[in-house]
Amino acid sequence: MQARPGESLEVLVSATAVEARVRALGAAISRDYQGRSLLLVGILRGSFVFLADLIRSIDVPVAIDFMAISSYGASTRSSGVVRILKDLDEEVQDRHLVVVEDIVDTGLTLNYIKSQLVARDAASVAICTLLDKPSRRQVDVHLDYLGFQIPDEFVVGYGLDFDECYRNLPDVCRLHIHGRKELE
């Protein structure tokens, strides 16, 4: 896919590598939740592609629901402000939840979501993220299932966007913005 004018893309994690890793994550979740039923909580919008693939690699009974959280908009750095834009429709009390996220950066988003779900008396709350950028972490969040650790670079594709663009790329790509040394 072509980048927009003034931007360029470089593959960081190929679609083939993502596919194999997602299958392995689904198998691990299926093993760990054997005999139980599961609610996957997708964090909109970035997790929708990952969740769609992950759910097809899980072979225990599984339901899905979604939450939307305030995002960076057209900036690439977290404001640290987390706000629920769309809440779950499902009751979570006494249910086993796996929160599905595209990427963990500062950890502020997942820390907030996890504390909200624990406070609603879920039976358990685990976290599954495709990508992890550990170098910018501000709060400690335990990642139960992790696809790939990546360096501190802004990435798009496989559901992740910049300014609502590039979610449709099959690979996870670095985004370069020409004339800007580092994305702010």
Asked whether 100 and 49 are in contact (CB, 8 A), the reply is: no
Least separation in angstroms between residue 8's CB and ligand IMP is 15
Tokens 């299932």: give the residue. Answer: 145
Q: Indicate which residue of 105, 132, 161, 171 is catalytic.
A: 105
Q: Look up residue 29 and give its amino acid.
A: I
Q: Which one of 3, 9, 62, 103 is in contact with ligand IMP (CB under 6 A)? A: 103
For ligand IMP, the closer CB: 9 or 33:
9
Q: DSSP assignment of 101-140, as one string?
A: EEEESSSHHHHHHHHHHHHTT-SEEEEEEEEE-GGG-SS-
**Order of strands across the sheet that contains 155-156:** 7-13, 172-177, 155-156
Which residues sit opposite 101 in a β-bridge?
Answer: 129
Q: How far apart are CA 147 and CA 150, in angstroms?
A: 10
For ligand IMP, the closer CB: 26 or 107:
107
105 counts as catalytic: yes
Q: Per CB under 6 A, which region of 6-14, 16-24, 49-57, 150-158 contacts ligand IMP?
A: 150-158
Least separation in angstroms between residue 3's CB and ligand IMP is 15
Q: Per CB under 6 A, which region of 11-19, 49-57, 106-114, 116-124 contacts ligand IMP?
A: 106-114
Separation in Å, CA 147 to CA 19, 25, 65, 131:
10, 7, 21, 6
Which residues sit opposite 180 in a β-bridge?
Answer: none
Q: Which helix (H) or strand (E) holds 25?
A: helix 15-32
Q: Does 154 bind ligand IMP (CB under 6 A)?
A: yes
Q: Does 129 bind ligand IMP (CB under 6 A)?
A: no
Q: How many residues bind ligand IMP (CB under 6 A)?
A: 17
Least separation in angstroms between residue 121's CB and ligand IMP is 24
Q: Which one of 18, 26, 40, 106 is in contact with ligand IMP (CB under 6 A)? A: 106
Least separation in angstroms between residue 94's CB and ligand IMP is 27
Active site residues: 105
Please give the residue ranges that form the binding site for ligand IMP (CB under 6 A): 46, 71-72, 78, 101-109, 154-156, 160
